[in-house]
Structure 1
Amino acid sequence: MKNTFLLICLLAGTFSLSAQNFKDGKLFLNEDGSRYLKITLNNQIWMRYNQNNPGSTVNGEPRNNTADVGIRRSRMQLFGPVAYRSFFYVQIGINNFNALSDRKAGFFLHDAVVDYEFIPRALSIGGGLGGWSGVSRFASSSTSSVMGLDLPLYQEATNDVTDQFLRKLEVYAKGKIGHLDYRIIVAEPMAIQKSANYIANPAAFNTLTTVSNFNTAAPQAQVQGYFQYQFFDEESNQTPYTTGTYLGAKKVFNIGAGFLNQEKAMRRLADNGTDTVVSALRLLAVDVFYDAPLNQTKGTALSAYASVSSYDYGKNYVRNAAPMNPANGSQLPGVLNGGGNGVPLFGTGTNFYFQGGYKFRNKLLGKMGTLLPYVSVQYSKLEKLADPVAYYDCGVNWLISGHNSKISLALQSRPVFEANGAGEYVKTVRKNDIVLQYQVGF
């Protein structure tokens, strides 16, 4: 991927020299500016102190706490209408790189899609490796504009299990009909055998138990969609990624609904201990998004998002999320969370999510920008757990230059689940981490 990065830089330089026209990150390919290639860069650096889950180890050594520095995300995008009615989009990047990561991993291909606009505004059809996803708004999130420290991770329902960091090989249709914005996707799930979870523990997938897990057989097509009614300002659907907050630049109020369905995606051992049960992966969600200025003269703004979803991965399925995990082992197999910062955010059950934030007036800090405090909560009632999952993320963004240069300080709080004498997973303690993030991009 280093060679790919150098090639892209070379191409960018070539376009710049030939077109002699570069403005607002765009390399114009014709005289009237209707065809162009736009370049964006974004970097998110985390400095973090983490209270590790009970039993956590780092290279076999017990660690109650860790402090680390890492690259949460580093991305480069190239996109634009490069030919008549044709839109081209490529993204490369790296995620979750810390001291425990494989060295020289390099950038990898996130997206490579192209679509053609058959009916202006109403219908474009495209395909490739892409992040066009269904279920809910932040199943395809613009990570450079999220309001909090992170997006609601559970909405990326199969992240790195049957996809490549959310992206799948897919064909899609998208468009706008009046105030209705829609996307419909048919994707080919990637082989579970190539996922990091499978490679680390193949027995977990190949040994049938009465707990549902992803099927190792050849996958069926995955059909998904998301539909939102946009009451006020229209949002762009050039790329699949939805904006976290516009910081008062738009007045947006949307109500959305989505689904994901994949037949024969899951399997488990029947309760009789003999038969194999194969079941579908079925996800449904509704959500609402409001992001608008309160006082345009002062620049104050309010942002809020809420979602309710029903996820069916099969009987008692549960999976942890552990962004840029600072630990790589656990001495306590009864701790469901695993080591480090793992927390069960994915599973069969019902999810409730809310986030809200308030942007103070422009130049609250003079030339150093303004502040945007926020809070987000995921509350999930998962079939396998005796107690609900309540995951909190609250903090403040220092907007030095909007999303292009911002410092975020956040406290994240997660529950830890351990097996009791009856074999039930109950919440025992809470663990926290404090993260300082600096994001810069254009």
Structure 2
Amino acid sequence: MKNLKYALAFLGLSATFLPESTQAQEFFKDRKLYLNEDGSNYVKFTFMTQAWLRSMDYNPGTTINGVEKNNGTDIGIRRYRVQMYGQLTDRVFAYSQFGENNFNTISERKLGFFVHDAYGEYAVDKTKLSIGVGLSGWSGLSRFSSPSVGSILGIDAPLFLQTTNDVNDQFLRKLSVFVKGKLGKLDYRLQMADPLEVKDSPPIVNEATFSTDPSEMQWNGYFQYQFLDQESNMTPYLTGTYQGKKKVFNIGAGFIYQKDAMWMLNTTGDVEKSDMVHFAADVFYDAPIGAGGQAVSFYGNVTSYDFGKNYIRNGGAMNPANGSNNPVMLNGGGNSFPMYGTGTVIYAQAGYKFKDNLIGQTTLMPYVSLQHADYDRLNDAMNFFDAGVNWLLDGNVSKFTVAYQNRPIYNLGGEKTGSKGAFIAQYQVLFN
């Protein structure tokens, strides 16, 4: 009898927590776990992996563990993401994101998984004003300063727009208080961020670098007028392309300001501080153009960067190298190039989606992009070129991309001495 009581109790719990499939479907729809009957309160879980196979020519003098290499082929995890978020009540929204970036053969093992976002948000007005606090990507400046990486048009986002990536933030995310909302067709975000302390700034010289003194608050903003279809501002991350599912035309502008963020030695050898001030304007058009599912996507951006006198910083996605034995080259090892600097940057990307079911039940979406920069530190213009084609096996759920990138090589004097290329293949899997 005792065992029978336990069995009956177990069956009762099962009926409570594991209802019949028809009942379960009422509380699990659209890949959301509903918290109320109409589904307005819910919790959702997503994940994404982007894996790269790449062959490239390395920068002159590149070394891996002290061994010089001129070129190579590598495999890595460019991005891995897990999102957990939910509309917990009619006014309370919570968002968290975990993952890793740039995991390859020279990465620290078992240390790459980290918190990207962790914030809570309260809607004072459900459309016009929400206030949030935590670690978030509600950054200012431009559309792709906070890109939705699962929907980017090319094989990678325009990384130069993540202006302080891993210098005084956590992979673009900042500890901050933010406000966001929509006033008619005007979408806005404003952020007061407490920068992470700078740990790896080089020695103070007569060219600007980030100050390691305790930081002042950083102020961010981005405003976009959405002329046609309205975009969601549920999370900070903006869509790269809708692949013809929306008709979007936006014009935007933004800024980033931080007092005394930079320092350098002046002509008398004293330390002189300066503010970091950035401005940007952009345009985004993404729309269907044919009855068969064809679509176009275009993004253009002009950014004015002021990091201080002659500031320059290299960047290289998932760099396969960890050293350089060439003391007269500015780029450093691997695939690094002068991605960031004081000056003006013009960026454009464009893509075309062919008709649906072009190849069986799949289709193609080729793209091209160019980052053109006139940085004060360089005597020659910096041009980074990227072109490729997306094979949309199932939209963004299953996507295969091949691309070619070309980056410039500079010496320490700021003269361009050549360029190097890379071929990249990526497979993306997205559960959303």
Whether the TM-score (by the shorter chain) exceeds 0.5 is yes
Q: Distance between the aligned counterparts of 2:318 and 2:328, measured in 1? A: 22
Q: 2:220 aligns with which of 220, 224, 238?
A: 224
174 and 330 in structure 1: CA distance in 2 versus 1, 3 angstrom threshold: same
Q: Distance between the aligned counterparts of 1:52 and 1:129, measured in 2? A: 35
Q: Could you report, residue by residue, the CA deviation over 1:380-436 in whole angstroms, capped at 9, with x for unpaired residues? A: 0000000011000100000000011000000010000013xxxx2111011010000
Q: Verify the 8 A CA contact 1:174 1:182 in the aligned structure 2.
A: yes
User: Partner of 1:80 in structure 2?
Assistant: 86
Q: Verify the 8 A CA contact 1:118 1:124 in the aligned structure 2.
A: yes
**Is 1:64 paired with 2:70?**
yes
Q: Verify the 8 A CA contact 2:406 2:419 in the aligned structure 1.
A: yes
SS at match of 1:425: coil
SS at match of 2:415: strand
SS at match of 1:100: coil
How far 1:66 moved relative to its partner?
A: 1.2
**Is 1:285 paired with 2:280?**
yes
Q: Distance between the aligned counterparts of 2:300 and 2:430, measured in 1? A: 28
User: Partner of 1:426 in structure 2?
Assistant: 415
Q: Verify the 8 A CA contact 1:281 1:312 in the aligned structure 2.
A: yes
User: Partner of 2:407 in structure 1?
Assistant: 414
17 and 223 in structure 1: CA distance in 2 versus 1, 3 angstrom threshold: farther
Q: Distance between the aligned counterparts of 2:125 and 2:89, measured in 1? A: 16
Aligned amino acid, residue 243 of structure 1: T
**Is 1:209 paired with 2:205?**
yes
Q: 2:385 aligns with which of 383, 389, 392?
A: 392
Q: 1:266 aligns with which of 256, 259, 262?
A: 262
Q: Percent identity?
A: 52
SS at match of 1:154: helix
User: Partner of 2:11 in structure 1?
Assistant: none
SS at match of 1:210: coil
Q: Verify the 8 A CA contact 1:16 1:27 in the aligned structure 2.
A: no
Q: 2:102 aligns with which of 91, 96, 103?
A: 96
User: Partner of 1:28 in structure 2?
Assistant: 34
Structure 1 runs of 4+ aligned residues shifted over 4 Å read 15-19
**Is 1:311 paired with 2:311?**
no
User: Partner of 1:241 in structure 2?
Assistant: 237
SS at match of 2:176: strand
How far 1:334 moved relative to its partner?
A: 1.4
1:359-370 mapped onto 2 (5 Å cutoff)? 359-367=353-361, 369-370=362-363
The answer to which of 304-313 and 103-112 deviates more is 103-112
**Is 1:340 paired with 2:340?**
no
Provide structure 2 residue ranges, at least 5 long, that are not aligned to the other structure: 1-15
**Is 1:376 paired with 2:389?**
no
Q: Distance between the aligned counterparts of 1:142 and 1:59, measured in 2? A: 34
**Is 1:128 paired with 2:121?**
no
1:83-232 mapped onto 2 (5 Å cutoff)? 83-193=89-199, 198=200, 204=202, 207-232=203-228
Q: Verify the 8 A CA contact 2:34 2:42 in the aligned structure 1.
A: yes
Aligned amino acid, residue 288 of structure 1: V
Q: Distance between the aligned counterparts of 2:95 and 2:184, measured in 1? A: 25
How far 1:97 moved relative to its partner?
A: 0.1
Q: Distance between the aligned counterparts of 2:110 and 2:348, measured in 1? A: 37
The alignment's TM-score, normalised by the length of structure 1, stands at 0.91
Aligned amino acid, residue 47 of structure 1: L
Q: Could you report, residue by residue, the CA deviation over 1:76-101 in whole angstroms, capped at 9, with x for unpaired residues? A: 10112112311110000010000000
Q: Which is higher, the Rg of structure 1 or of structure 2? A: 2
Q: Verify the 8 A CA contact 1:250 1:292 in the aligned structure 2.
A: yes
394 and 405 in structure 1: CA distance in 2 versus 1, 3 angstrom threshold: same
- For the aligned residue pairs, the C-alpha RMSD in angstroms reads 1.3
Q: Verify the 8 A CA contact 2:103 2:112 in the aligned structure 1.
A: no
The alignment's TM-score, normalised by the length of structure 2, stands at 0.93
How far 1:106 moved relative to its partner?
A: 4.5
Q: Verify the 8 A CA contact 2:134 2:176 in the aligned structure 1.
A: yes
Q: Could you report, residue by residue, the CA deviation over 1:228-279 in whole angstroms, capped at 9, with x for unpaired residues? A: 000000000000000000000000000000000000100000023x222100
SS at match of 2:107: coil
User: Partner of 1:46 in structure 2?
Assistant: 52
How far 1:72 moved relative to its partner?
A: 0.2
The answer to which of 424-433 and 227-236 deviates more is 424-433
How far 1:120 moved relative to its partner?
A: 2.4
Q: Distance between the aligned counterparts of 1:290 and 1:252, measured in 2? A: 6
SS at match of 1:144: helix
Aligned amino acid, residue 251 of structure 2: I
User: Partner of 1:252 in structure 2?
Assistant: 248
How far 1:16 moved relative to its partner?
A: 8.4
Aligned amino acid, residue 125 of structure 1: I
Q: Could you report, residue by residue, the CA deviation over 1:208-239 in whole angstroms, capped at 9, with x for unpaired residues? A: 21110001100000001000000000000000
Q: 1:435 aligns with which of 401, 404, 424?
A: 424
User: Partner of 1:37 in structure 2?
Assistant: 43
Q: Distance between the aligned counterparts of 2:188 and 2:175, measured in 1? A: 19
Q: Distance between the aligned counterparts of 2:76 and 2:138, measured in 1? A: 28
Aligned amino acid, residue 431 of structure 1: K
Q: Verify the 8 A CA contact 1:42 1:74 in the aligned structure 2.
A: yes
217 and 16 in structure 1: CA distance in 2 versus 1, 3 angstrom threshold: farther
Aligned amino acid, residue 255 of structure 1: I
Q: Distance between the aligned counterparts of 1:275 and 1:425, measured in 2? A: 25
User: Partner of 1:12 in structure 2?
Assistant: none
Aligned amino acid, residue 204 of structure 2: L
Q: Verify the 8 A CA contact 1:311 1:350 in the aligned structure 2.
A: yes
Q: Verify the 8 A CA contact 2:208 2:309 in the aligned structure 1.
A: yes
Q: Distance between the aligned counterparts of 2:332 and 2:385, measured in 1? A: 19
119 and 210 in structure 1: CA distance in 2 versus 1, 3 angstrom threshold: same
SS at match of 1:192: coil
